[in-house]
Amino acid sequence: MVVGIIGGGASGMAAALAAAENPDIEVLLLERQARVGRKLLATGNGRCNLSNANATVSSYHGETPSFVQYALQKFDVSNTLRWFSDLGLYTVTEQSGRIYPYSDQANSVVDVLRLGLLKPNITVLCGAEVQQIKQDGQGFLLSCTDETYRCDKLIVACGGLAGTKLGGTMSGYKLLGKLGHKSTKLRPSLVQIKSSWPALASLKGVRANCSIQILRDEKVFAKSCGEIQFTEFGISGPVVFELSRDVCSAGGNWTAILDMIPDWSNECLLQWLKVRRETELSVQELLTGVLHNRLGRVLIQSADISMNKKCNELSDYELQNICDCVKRFELTLTEPMGMDSAQVTAGGVLTEQFDEETMESRLVPGLYACGELLDIDGDCGGYNLQWAWSSGRLAGYSAGKE
Ligand X SMILES: Cc1cc2nc3c(=O)[nH]c(=O)nc-3n(C[C@H](O)[C@H](O)[C@H](O)COP(=O)(O)OP(=O)(O)OC[C@H]3O[C@@H](n4cnc5c(N)ncnc54)[C@H](O)[C@@H]3O)c2cc1C
Q: Which residues have C-beta within 8 Å of that of residue 297, sequence separation ≥ 6?
A: 284, 287, 307
Q: How far is the CB of 373 from ligand X (least distance, A)?
A: 6
Nearer to ligand X, 248 or 388 (CB): 388
Q: How far is the CB of 47 from ligand X (least distance, A)?
A: 7
Is 237 an interacting residue with respect to ligand X (CB under 6 A)?
no
Q: How far is the CB of 320 from ligand X (least distance, A)?
A: 42
Whether 372 contacts 11, CB under 8 Å: yes
Is 17 an interacting residue with respect to ligand X (CB under 6 A)?
no
Contact mark string toward ligand X, 170..189, x via CB under 6 A? -xx-----------------
Q: How far is the CB of 50 from ligand X (least distance, A)?
A: 7
Residue nearest to ligand X (CB): 9
Q: How far is the CB of 72 from ligand X (least distance, A)?
A: 13
- β 122-126/26-31 pair status: parallel
Which residues in 139-168 contact ligand X (CB under 6 A)? Answer: 157-159, 162-163, 166-167
Say which amino acid occupies 273: L
Is 296 an interacting residue with respect to ligand X (CB under 6 A)?
no
Q: How far is the CB of 210 from ligand X (least distance, A)?
A: 22
Select from 41, 42, 53, 179 the one that contacts ligand X (CB under 6 A): 42
Is 343 an interacting residue with respect to ligand X (CB under 6 A)?
yes
Q: How far is the CB of 176 from ligand X (least distance, A)?
A: 11
Which residues in 379-398 contact ligand X (CB under 6 A)? Answer: 382-385, 388
Nearer to ligand X, 29 or 258 (CB): 29
Which residues in 70-129 contact ligand X (CB under 6 A)? Answer: 129
Nearer to ligand X, 299 or 346 (CB): 346
Rg, C-alpha atoms of the chain: 25
Select from 2, 4, 5, 11 the one that contacts ligand X (CB under 6 A): 11
Which residues in 20-39 contact ligand X (CB under 6 A)? Answer: 30-33, 38-39
Q: How far is the CB of 4 from ligand X (least distance, A)?
A: 11
Is 4 an interacting residue with respect to ligand X (CB under 6 A)?
no
Nearer to ligand X, 19 or 311 (CB): 19
Residues that bind ligand X (CB under 6 A): 6-12, 30-33, 38-40, 42-44, 48-49, 129-130, 157-159, 162-163, 166-167, 169, 171-172, 343-344, 371-373, 382-385, 388
